[in-house]
Amino acid sequence: MGISISHQDWSDKTVLIAEDVSDNFLFLKTYLRKTKINVLWAKDGQEAIEICSKNPSIDIVLMDIRMPIVDGYEATTEIKKIKPSMPVIAQTAYALNSDYQKVFDSGCDDYITKPILGASLIDKMAVYL
């Protein structure tokens, strides 16, 4: 049943967490700490684009969809123009079929629904890392 977090050593990997709600970011950062992954934080979509364009060490992006300035859909589209092979996993609290289609249309590789279950997040990330 899924991949144990205790078996993950991602100390040579970097994740960008694009999330405007600090409590959500802190949950993800705290949960991922056990994997030893390096964590970067973007508080809006524009910042996510800028960080991805300037930081070649990023291996994966966890993209909140509803963010200020530039939403997750547009940010993903722009990131994929810069780095087409960059895995992007959308984080969304909205589970409508039309939302899922828009997630993939924007270039996201996968999605996870909020509230996020830590084990599910590790399983999804492990596919791309």
Angle 121-82-77 from CA coordinates, rounded to 5°: 60
114 falls in which pLDDT band (50, 70, 90)? confident
Q: Which of 76, 10, 21, 17 has the alpha carbon at shortest distance from 49? A: 76
Domain count, the chain: 1
Write down the pLDDT at residue 44: 97
Residue 3 lies in a domain: no
The CA distance from 88 to 59, in Å, is 9
Residue 67 lies in a domain: yes
- Where in the sequence is the domain holding 47, given as residue range(s)? 10-128
Write down the pLDDT at residue 16: 98
Q: Tell me the per-residue pLDDT of 50-108, one tens digit each, with 9 for 90 and over.
A: 999 999 999 999 999 999 999 999 999 999 999 999 999 999 876 666 677 888 999 99
Q: Tell me the per-residue pLDDT of 40-52, one tens digit each, with 9 for 90 and over.
A: 999 999 999 999 9
pTM of the predicted structure, to 2 decimals: 0.92
Residue 84 lies in a domain: yes
- What's 107's domain CATH number? 3.40.50.2300
Residue 86 lies in a domain: yes
